[in-house]
Amino acid sequence: MFSPTGGSPVVIFLGTAWLVARRWGRLRAAVGRPPQRLAGGLLLALASALCTWAYYVGQAQLLLPALTMAALGSALWLGGLAAARAILLPSLFVLLALPVPSVLVNQIIYPLQLATAQVTAWILQTLGLGPAVAQGDRILRGGAVFEVIESCSGLRSVETIFMASFLYHDLFFRSRLQSTLLILASPLLGVVANQIRVLTIVLNPYSRFAAVHTAQGLVMIVLAVLMLAGLDWLLTRLLPEPARTPRRRRAVQPPSLGLATALAGALAALAAVTLWIRPWDPPRVAAAPLSALPAQFEDWQAEGVALDKQFLGSATFSEWVHRRYTKGEDRVDLLLGSDDHLDARINFHSIKTAVPDSGWEIEREGSVSLASGRTASRLVATSGSERQLVYLWTEGMRSPLEETVRALFALDRGPFHRPGRALLVRLTTIVSPSPAGRVEAEERLAAFAAVVERAIPNDGATAAPAAAGAAR
């Protein structure tokens, strides 16, 4: 219920079935009216193509938009615009079960976490509920530390109340204007409900228990629906009463036998074709594992460091190495991650990968030219009085928009698959408080980066280095 990339498909499917059942009479009355053969045939062709592609690349979620197009195309084919209007809302509602691509989540989830922490600390201070400070994605209050993880960012609350607004519209027969206002306001109500949830977590001493934490989330979903009902009550009193025209009951007419037979034959043929589709087989590439990165560089010795996967959340890797290299009193942390482009749920296109850990903030940004000619992002991270210098660069990644399109249509599973793998390299080192601390940190990272660049495992097919800001 609270995963930011989930879609609660069972709830969506039940809601879709309910919407269809409520429109069954309109659909029956529309079937047999003048058909829209060209538009219906085009949508059915697109649905068939997408369905075939979904089976070929092994991505079941693509069957959802294929189902939407097939439903609308069949309605146009059998009953024209009247049937299409009757099935439109259920056909679009089922798309809410589509999982949000990780690359898209990565662009919005961390800013939401930071904003939630900032607003929560401000509310606590304003209400006089003790001193509270936001430090990155953390809230510091009374000696306790609360981390705003992805499930508390509010994204899922927005998705849930947005879905509920459509069902609310259909259940209470509101005017088009009133329903539009309710749907547009639903994301804001989701944000408010989530903010209340985070406040209760901070104030409730038993929130550390998972059952209590989950119960608070469910209560806030109910609260958001009640807020939607309250807004509806207010709009009902402010907006003029819509004119209601009684619907005339139309006699149910049988559809054209030829059209119905053609549609049934086409759908049966599509079902038969899917049984013979041979799924795409990923290429066998013997790439060097990232763990092949040497554990010793000249005088630098490495030790493994645990990766905070809860903090990274939706920013994920196919393979990763996280190490701490030391030489005397000098220390550099290395994060090396990859994406083999085979699973759309894996994507590290997020500014979060530049943050050393939970509770750190990015103070300023820039770029630096490395010894190999690569351009890396240069960032200064702060946490209280501590400061770290960060170098970050990526290879084989494209813009968030292109990555989103490729994820939505599974373009990396099939003939459009990108060879090789994408890489992310992050180097961090402590900036001492001395006047020369920043200069020393720059020299340390620049020298270490030159060594690491030559040692990174390369499969020979990784794309050209990305621009400095690509990972952001």
Amino acid at 179: S
Calculate mean pLDDT across residues 224-239: 90
Note the pLDDT of residue 213: 65
pLDDT at 471 over 50: no
Q: Which two tokens mark 200?
A: 């209760």
pLDDT band at 221 (very low <50, low <70, confident <90, very high): confident
Q: Which two tokens mark 67?
A: 């189902």
Chain mean pLDDT for the chain: 87
pLDDT band at 239 (very low <50, low <70, confident <90, very high): confident
Q: Which two tokens mark 205?
A: 């001493």
Q: CA 56 from chain center: how many Å?
A: 24
Note the pLDDT of residue 82: 92
pTM over 0.75: yes
Calculate what percentage of the chain has a pLDDT beyond 70: 90
Q: Using one digit for the tens of pLDDT, what is the confidence trace for 27-47?
A: 988 888 888 989 999 999 999
Q: Lowest-pLDDT range, 126-135, 244-253, 418-427? A: 244-253
Q: Which two tokens mark 319?
A: 């393979």
Note the pLDDT of residue 307: 92
CA distance 185 to 231: 9
Calculate mean pLDDT across residues 418-423: 89
pLDDT at 309 over 60: yes
Note the pLDDT of residue 468: 39
Calculate mean pLDDT across residues 407-417: 91
Neighbour count for residue 24 (Cβ, 10 Å):
10
pLDDT band at 183 (very low <50, low <70, confident <90, very high): very high
Strand order in the sheet with 144-147: 132-135, 138-141, 144-147
